[in-house]
């Protein structure tokens, strides 16, 4: 997180920058949080980077960079948070994957592989730790209107085609992902675990070919 977030009104905690690929740094920071507050109730793993291309053209170092941040970084955060959660026999783990972790897309092998790994890692967490009161769920966003996405989409000639694949006809908003995370973190989701939840404006609902428009639904 950037230091500019320190100015957010009403933000309930301290903001600390940690390299998610550094196992020792992750463990030390989360241990400090647990010691300060006495417990860890919720962890959300949201660090991620884009990357891709057809497999035969992918640079191996770029592949490793994406996997290290998106998948290994997620694993290291959760691994560190599990220790206090196991002791208290409760907790909610929320990972952020992607619709591209649920289905393939052109030139998406690097990113899709990392996010598909996050989805299945989350399901395994639900299997392993549900018996001691720890829930694990995954949010799979569609295309969300952020500076990172705009930097990618604005350079593409088929930007509007991508947006059109969201059945609500627009990009998502960051706060819509935050709302899903808040639900999964709270008591209203106390019987929800092992779920990969698309928050995608209908992106994964199916394919559109213009037939509905031909029938007057426009």
CA distance 125 to 93: 9
Cβ 66 vs Cβ 114: under 8 Å: yes
CA distance 190 to 123: 16
Q: Establish whether 111 is a catalytic residue.
A: yes
- Of 137, 94, 96, the C-alpha closest to 115 is 96
- Of 84, 80, 90, 77, the C-alpha closest to 37 is 84
Q: Which residues pair with 45 in a beta bridge?
A: 95
- Of 17, 35, 20, the C-alpha closest to 75 is 20
Active-site option among 111, 129, 203, 209: 111
The single residue listed with the structure tokens 């569609």 is 142
Handedness of CA 51, 137, 124, 104 (dihedral sign): negative
Active site residues: 111
């Amino acid at each position: 997180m950037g230091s500019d977030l320190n100015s957010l009104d009403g933000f309930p905690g301290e903001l600390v920058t940690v390299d998610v690929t550094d196992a020792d740094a992750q463990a030390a920071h989360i241990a400090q949080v647990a010691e300060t507050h006495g417990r860890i109730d919720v962890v959300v793993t949201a660090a991620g980077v884009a990357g891709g291309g057809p497999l035969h053209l992918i640079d191996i170092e770029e592949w490793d960079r994406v996997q290290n941040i998106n998948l290994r970084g997620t694993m290291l955060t959760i691994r560190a948070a599990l220790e206090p959660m196991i002791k208290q026999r409760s907790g909610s783990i929320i990972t952020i994957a992607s619709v591209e972790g649920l289905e393939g897309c052109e030139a998406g092998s690097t990113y899709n592989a990392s996010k598909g790994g996050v989805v299945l890692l989350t399901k395994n967490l639900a299997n392993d730790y549900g018996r001691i009161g720890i829930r694990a769920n995954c949010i799979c966003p569609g295309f969300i209107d952020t500076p990172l996405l705009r930097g990618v989409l604005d350079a593409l000639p088929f930007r509007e085609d991508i947006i059109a694949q969201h059945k609500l006809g627009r990009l998502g908003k960051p706060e819509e992902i935050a709302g899903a995370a808040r639900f999964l973190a709270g008591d209203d989701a106390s019987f929800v675990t092992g779920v990969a939840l698309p928050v995608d404006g209908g992106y994964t609902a199916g394919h559109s070919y213009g037939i509905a428009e031909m029938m007057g639904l426009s």
